[in-house]
Structure 1
Amino acid sequence: MPINEPTLFTQNERNSGLSPLAERLRPREWGDVLGQTHVLPRLKELAGREFWPSLLLHGPPGCGKTSIVSVLENHFKGVWIRAHGSELKVSELRSLSEEGRHRKLVENKQTLVFIDEIHGLTKVQQEALLDPVEKGNIVVLGATTENPVFFLRPALRSRLRTLELRKLTADEIRPLLERAEATLRVDQPAARAFPTGLLQFVAEATTGDARRALVQFELLWEAQQSQATDLTEEEALKILSEQTRPALPEDDYHSGLSAMIKSIRGSDPDAALLWATQLMEGGVDPRLILRRLIISASEDIGNAEPRALQVAVAAAQGFEWVGLPEGRLTIAQAVIFLASCPKSDAVYVSSGNATKWVDQGYPWKVPAPLTQEGKDLYKNPHNESRGWVKQRYLPEGLTAETPVMSWTGRGQEKKLIEYLQWLRQSKIASRDPGTEPTE
């Protein structure tokens, strides 16, 4: 995991004409940050402290989260570590916590872990963060385009100070484009000037996304240098429409995810694939789509087709191995398969039933034969000819009629139900040989 210690070499590398324009223009100080005047005073105050609290920045794409993080990094006096939400391992978190604890006690320094796309953290990873953050072994700085209410567990969310960043206006993006033009003119002294009117055109066309504004500006800059006359607005619009697609607005993004899942639940592979494709074309992180597919495999299909979960997980693994653009095929395959499977919400409903009963009787007393102390009372099913023996597994107060399981009887569930019914026939309890249910 990279530990960032800026050097003269890294600074020169950022200033090099070979570095991407966005990297060269990345802010070093607060005066370079675009917009966000509603949170800058608070950020400056936090950055001036000797010891920092954990912080979460969330806002739409291209609003300046990474830029603010870059400035914060310049002000942090401890050890700064970068990580990615989808790649951070629990074992790494434990190591970081121990290193941070030692650094805090011995060197009186904080260890800050910047987690980009923190929405990619699983529940297990989030739980692993609770204790280190609570004890101050590490400071977490998270950045996300998602609303933290939807993906962060309340226990972790309560430990982070949340700052919401706003979509940038065209007037806030315009100075960035002017700096970009000045930078490129230094690199290319003989270059033709960029039409002034097109700067405002780009600033307005990118709907508040500064990162996309820079990409589009570079594209139009190259077009301007390749022709004898100034680029017109009509020509610019044609170039951009051929090369880029606008990012989905936040409302459309959430609606698109909902439409994809509901189409899968409704067994409409055509619609499900269309919505999944629109999400990917709209710039949605494919890992978010894959995460929802894995959830849907258990929530909407479950044991009606157990392979659904395998396919969804395999799609996520395949995407990580292949990457974009070919990795989109793993998503498409999973979407088509899940939408075409028999449906059952038995896992979802039964899990809710189990939680309800646990809450009502917690902690339930384990029947004696199932405990280590009662091992002499335990009847091992493997010692029986059918691999089953009549024995109580539910705690006292609950019976086999207690509504924990809620089968639908669809797909493969039907075979599971038949098998369980066959086991519970009286002749099985008496170990009377018989025939298993036929396919």
Structure 2
Amino acid sequence: MDLFDRKAAADTLKEAPLAERMRPRTLAEYVGQEHLLGPGKLLRQLIETDQLTSLIFWGPPGSGKTTLARIIAGATKSHFIFFSAILSGIKEIREIVKEADDIRKFHGKRTILFVDEIHRFNKSQQDAFLPYVERGVFTIIGATTENPSFEVIAPLLSRCKVLVLNPLTEEEITGILRQALADKERGLGALDLAIEDDALTFMAEQAGGDARVALNTLETASRLTSNGVVSLDTAREAVQKKPLLYDKGGEEHYNVISAFIKSMRGSDPDGALYWLARMIEAGEDPIFILRRMVILASEDIGNADPRALQVAVTALQGFQLVGMPEGRIIIGQAVTYLATAPKSNASYVGIDAALAEVRKSGALPVPLHIRNAPTRLMKDLGYGTGYRYAHDYAEGYVAQDYLPDQIKGRKYYDPTGHGYEKSIKERMEWLKGKK
């Protein structure tokens, strides 16, 4: 790189957004991921001993995946190639292979191929990397916000070490913001800005663990302030509305709905309302939420409170009548009812046990006495013979077998002592005594 190239690069960096200018250049500047980079931790050891293997960084936006890959390349004196799954395709791989071969041949350096958003490549595109990873033409570092178990093909996954990057903590983001305010070369230090503590805390809270979001907010706030002090009001104006991390087709969708269901199952209405609000605010389809609530009403509450299913179904119907935004009230009421209702999964366990029996035993013959006999031939064959009509007996009950002979006496439904199911259990004990 000559003098003019260096000047052009410096000018470009100067005009870049604050988040790009403040991108860490060394491990010493890097913030977060202590579980990987702390003393004696795996990734730090791989870097310091120069025993790097192919890696996949799995973490949310703004957790430092790209930055960390660049730092690793610098620390291991490797040639770095950035490869975007959005902008690049298979045809570019041949050019990368030639470049990596030339770098090794003429400079004796390893090449790190950083594949951004590797989950966006389809199976055949991911397959194209395999032979070059196996031959050591380049070391691949993939970055993904999606669960690699679902999004990365097994052969490539088996050749990579998956490392999970966590969202940055509010304390870590606060430190990054303070550094940006103080840095006169790359940050906002030349502006000599002051910032109120509550404004700094607010920015860190609103970033959602994403350093890029926090730095973008700070940069916007610095342009809005007129007196050299970033106040809480200025920070709020700069933030506007923060988009929530919630990909309706991705893992976070399943994480949040799982938390929602488990909160109701665990009888925590506050947790259930919070996760409901997260989904509503992120734009989840309310009908999807309500359908899951209908399932929960039977699966996790069942006969401990038979009204729960009625509440869930009515909430679904009520929402379809009024829609949003008023529909949130209907969903909220149903959520609090389901969360605080007594719980039993006995019916759910019972049907699954019965299904398992059918799959194991096959189509066992129906006992003759409970078969229907609409024709003379059937009656002559004994269909319905010996059947006792329950309503002909006191209290509408008579002891009688209803299961095939091969599984006579099997139990599938075992009611708990929770809620209304306590009454059901007592009645079943009474019926058992009658037998």
Q: TM-score with structure 2 length normalisation? A: 0.51
1:174 is matched with 174
Deviations 1:66-105 (A, max 9, x none): 2212312322323221110133322221343355346546
For 2:236, the aligned partner's letter is L
1:208 is matched with 209
For residues 255 and 117 of structure 1, the distance between their equivalents in structure 2, rounded to whole angstroms, comes to 16
1:93 is matched with 93
For residues 61 and 98 of structure 2, the distance between their equivalents in structure 1, rounded to whole angstroms, comes to 34
Deviating more after overlay: 166-175 vs 97-106: 97-106
2:27 is matched with 30
Do the aligned partners of 2:168 and 2:211 also contact (CA within 8 Å) in 1? yes
Distance 1:248 1:99, change over 3 A: closer
Equivalent in 236, 244, 248 of residue 247 of structure 1: 244
Give runs of aligned pairs for residues 384-395 of structure 1, distance below 5 A. none
Query: Whose radius of gyration is greater, 1 or 2?
Result: 2
2:356 is matched with none
2:232 is matched with 233
In angstroms, what is the RMSD of aligned CA positions?
3.5
Give runs of aligned pairs for residues 375-386 of structure 1, distance below 5 A. none
For 2:10, the aligned partner's letter is N
Distance 1:196 1:83, change over 3 A: same
Distance 1:98 1:240, change over 3 A: closer
CA-CA distance at 1:25 after TM superposition? 1.0
For residues 206 and 252 of structure 1, the distance between their equivalents in structure 2, rounded to whole angstroms, comes to 22
SS of 2:172's partner is helix
2:195 is matched with 194
Q: TM-score with structure 1 length normalisation? A: 0.51
For 1:94, the aligned partner's letter is R
Unaligned runs of 5+ in 1: 260-273, 280-439
For residues 143 and 46 of structure 2, the distance between their equivalents in structure 1, rounded to whole angstroms, comes to 16
Unaligned runs of 5+ in 2: 257-278, 285-435
For residues 38 and 57 of structure 1, the distance between their equivalents in structure 2, rounded to whole angstroms, comes to 13
For residues 72 and 216 of structure 2, the distance between their equivalents in structure 1, rounded to whole angstroms, comes to 25
2:10 is matched with 12
For 1:197, the aligned partner's letter is D
Do the aligned partners of 1:206 and 1:246 also contact (CA within 8 Å) in 2? no
Do the aligned partners of 1:60 and 1:250 also contact (CA within 8 Å) in 2? no
For residues 179 and 198 of structure 1, the distance between their equivalents in structure 2, rounded to whole angstroms, comes to 15
For 2:208, the aligned partner's letter is T
For residues 192 and 78 of structure 2, the distance between their equivalents in structure 1, rounded to whole angstroms, comes to 43
Do the aligned partners of 1:100 and 1:111 also contact (CA within 8 Å) in 2? yes
Do the aligned partners of 1:117 and 1:142 also contact (CA within 8 Å) in 2? yes
For 2:167, the aligned partner's letter is K
Deviations 1:90-123 (A, max 9, x none): 2221343355346546654322211111112121
SS of 1:141's partner is strand
2:112 is matched with 112
Distance 1:255 1:115, change over 3 A: closer
Give runs of aligned pairs for residues 108-187 of structure 1, distance below 5 A. 108-183=108-183
For residues 258 and 15 of structure 1, the distance between their equivalents in structure 2, rounded to whole angstroms, comes to 38
Deviations 1:197-234 (A, max 9, x none): 2111211121211110111112222222x3x5955535
CA-CA distance at 1:54 after TM superposition? 1.2
SS of 2:33's partner is coil
Pair 1:221 & 2:219 matched? no
For residues 96 and 15 of structure 1, the distance between their equivalents in structure 2, rounded to whole angstroms, comes to 25
SS of 1:32's partner is coil
For residues 125 and 235 of structure 1, the distance between their equivalents in structure 2, rounded to whole angstroms, comes to 46
For residues 61 and 120 of structure 2, the distance between their equivalents in structure 1, rounded to whole angstroms, comes to 16
Distance 1:189 1:26, change over 3 A: closer
Do the aligned partners of 1:36 and 1:165 also contact (CA within 8 Å) in 2? yes
Deviations 1:320-345 (A, max 9, x none): xxxxxxxxxxxxxxxxxxxxxxxxxx
For residues 258 and 205 of structure 1, the distance between their equivalents in structure 2, rounded to whole angstroms, comes to 20
SS of 1:166's partner is coil
For residues 163 and 10 of structure 1, the distance between their equivalents in structure 2, rounded to whole angstroms, comes to 36
For residues 170 and 258 of structure 1, the distance between their equivalents in structure 2, rounded to whole angstroms, comes to 21
Distance 1:110 1:51, change over 3 A: farther
SS of 2:194's partner is coil
Distance 1:56 1:258, change over 3 A: closer
Give runs of aligned pairs for residues 32-431 of structure 1, distance below 5 A. 32-40=29-37, 41-50=41-50, 52-101=52-101, 103-104=103-104, 108-183=108-183, 189=190, 192-224=193-225, 226=226, 228=227, 232-234=231-233, 236-241=235-240, 244-249=241-246, 253-254=250-251, 278=283
Distance 1:166 1:108, change over 3 A: same
For 1:87, the aligned partner's letter is L
CA-CA distance at 1:156 after TM superposition? 0.5
Distance 1:11 1:101, change over 3 A: closer
Do the aligned partners of 2:194 and 2:228 also contact (CA within 8 Å) in 1? no
For residues 167 and 188 of structure 2, the distance between their equivalents in structure 1, rounded to whole angstroms, comes to 30
For residues 188 and 255 of structure 1, the distance between their equivalents in structure 2, rounded to whole angstroms, comes to 37
Distance 1:124 1:197, change over 3 A: same
CA-CA distance at 1:194 after TM superposition? 2.0
